Structure 1
Amino acid sequence: MTPSPDPIPRPAPFRVFIRRWFNWLVLGAMAGAILGSIALLLSTGAAERAERAQVQRADDVLLFLDQIERSALSAESAQRGYFITLDPRYIEPYQQSRTQVSDALANLDRALGDDASKAQRRHYDSVMAALDDKFSELDETIGMVDQGRILDARRRILEGAGYNAMQRLTAAINRLSDIENQLQAEQSVRARAAEGRILPVLGLLLLLLIGAIVLGAILVARAAQAETEAAQARELEIARDRASLLAQELNHRVKNLFAMVLAIVQMSAREASEVAEYKERIVSRIHALLTAHEVTQGTGTAADRLSRKGGASVRALVEGTVEPHVSNSKRLLIDGEDQIIDRMQVTPLGLVLHELTTNAVKYGCWRDAGLLTVRWRSNGDLLRLEWEEEADTTGATVAEDDTPRSGSQGGFGSTLMIGAGRQLGGEVERTFGPRGVTVSIAFPPRPKGSAG
């Protein structure tokens, strides 16, 4: 009984768990490196955008504060010129400055925005209050001058209300400017800090990426190793199946060989009358089996010269069977191009050739002297082999029923011919003439199904 093949080794559950954990570790490292890089880029970009926004806001606020202060000074200068010269041309610059102050104040309110701090809003209110006080004083004095009340206008100017309002306006503008400059400086510090974190974080991410690459390479190597192991396991399974098939084929052939040997022993016992003759026939026929086996396996002298991969040579089989009996009086003519037949056809054909050679030596053309011609030709899908014996002596025609050959009706030769024709997938015909026997064997050289 053939032992069952060993099962293909499977990875242990712990090894599977470790491998899966390792895979997740590699994926996590790579994902962490990618996400970290993205977060670093986003944070740095956000810090730079915030700094640019703060710079733009500070520039706008400072610009509008400067416009307010300049417009207020221009309005005061126009008021003083009109008071001193009484020239109405100063009224137009005064009105323009007043309009500019109003526009700059509205722009300043939009620049501060809704997210302005309480201190910024308080200083903005201080600017508005100082402007209201300042332009109230300017409007009042210009009105007095228009009415011709020059002394009252002079007295109003000297009271210092306009001066105080201008001082409060300048102080509020300076405080609001300081806040914006401080916010801009703080944002610059944060931006520089974000930029300063780039190199160390990039270094850390680079190390993480390198580690992920190394782990990925290890993972790929392990995956390749697993694939190799799986492929080797598959090849091992295929090899085991092939070995099992070969063992079955060998078992089948051995059974056939034993059956053939048993048939040879039984049929030879029927034909032989003496032990020596019995022994000689058994030995010669088993030797024919050996010759056929050597040709199929590519061993032996003739087989070494003419064996072929996937088949066997007809010439090798003929020469290996017939040539040992050739002498000066026992001539041999072999005619035919080398033809390859299936290995399964070698044994039946070899036994037929051996039986014909034995009969030719004992009873046919080579009993005394003669010519044996063996020729073969391809005829379509069939291979036709002709065996012709020509004895040198003349005599009456030898009929099949009168010959003592082993191939007589009911003998081993007849049984062998019938069985060989069936195994070859063709036909074997024999004709007895006055100078010897003629045998024609026709069969497909590579049958679709070889008989066992």
Structure 2
Amino acid sequence: MAHPFAAWLERARYQKLAFPAAALVAGLMILLSELAYHGADARLTRLTAMDQARYELLRVLRRVTDAESGERGFLLTGGPEYLAPYQSARADVFDGLQKIEKLYRDSGDAQAEAHRQRIAALVIAKLSEMEEVLRLDASGARGTALEMVRTGIGRDQMELLRKEIDQLLKQQAQASSEALGSVYDTLLMGRLGVAALTVIGLIVLSGFLRVGRQLDRQRAERQAEAQAERERLEREVQLRTADLTELARHLQTAREDERARLARDLHDELGALLTAAKLDVARIRPKLQQAAPDLAPRLAHLVEALNSGIALKRRIIEDLRPSTLNSLGLGPALEILCQESGERMGLPIDARLEPVRLAPGADLVVFRVVQESLTNIAKYAKATKIEVQLCTEGDWAVVEVRDNGVGFDANRSTRGSHGLLGMRFRVEAERGHLEVLTAPGRGTTLRARLPLMPTPEPMTDVDSTLPAPEHAAPSPGARA
């Protein structure tokens, strides 16, 4: 079966002129649209400049009027508070004249530029007239200044200024109307071009819709195949992860079993050897004290060495497999561990331990987590205060080891350091969760949560609920 896209290409081979014609028309429409856009953009930019120039003209006229009002108020009252509006308006007028000059210089309209020059000259003349009046008043010729105001020169200048601004605004209004008409024509051409381009696009698009639907079906099929492959790979990854997890759990269990075996061997064989040696020393000690008193110090040193060896043997055995955990339970075992660790580190450990009910494997996990944490604190933390807490929260047992040491960056892993990773795996293997809260210089808090062992329900007396048995039938070998 031929591919649908190949069939479509085969049909398109007989329509060689269709695509070049559509491409030519589309190119012409795009060119027309671009020309219309640039023309409309230029006209709209000019309209914007005209509006800004109109605003600046009106603003200059208003500020000239404000300056004249400030001058007249000062002449009538003599109050200096009228000079501040005059000075402010004067500065704004010159600023506005500069903006108007730039706007009309960029527009390139010679007639508007002529009006602008006359307006600037009238404004400067009006300001000069006001400045002269104020200068005369400041020199003591107040009467001359008032007489100059009464002559009406300033009024005539303001009338000429208003007429020039009105003529320029009328010219701008006519130019704006023509520009708007041109913009509307450009927009109409753009509409026609877009409509024609839309029709051509629909014609071309209809030829691709069928190919697009076919491609969509093929894409959906490939996506379904990819999804099936992804699900297969995920299942395989889950199976491999489960196998690796089971293998790691088996290795951990084998490690603990090997520790227990080694602890038993040390206890049985090495313990027997050290005990026998100590008993032999005890037997020969009285004889040596009588026969060779000078060997008594060496004999005492030998006894101390044997006692140290026995203590070392006990400590190694406890490190390998804590006997107190099986004989006394988790709480006493942790209390002894904290006491011995505190003695080795030379600082007391605040241990707050509540009785909890955990599985035997979880008991060992909690003990190892606390043991590893105290070992890390002794090696790296430089702490002066250590707290160990064991409590229950709902259906969870929570063990927490906290110190005020130097801390570390938990997000930065150190090559070859697997202590935290091993503790995390131990806890998660018992369906628990391990959390490490630390930062450089802020100490470390290690918190582990493990599920409590459910309390067994009390068993009912099955015998009392059963009916009383009837007389048993005699066995075949019984005799009456």
Same fold (TM over 0.5): no
- Higher Cα Rg: structure 1 or 2? 1
Report which structure shows greater RCO (CA 8 Å, sep ≥6).
1
TM-score normalised per structure 1: 0.40
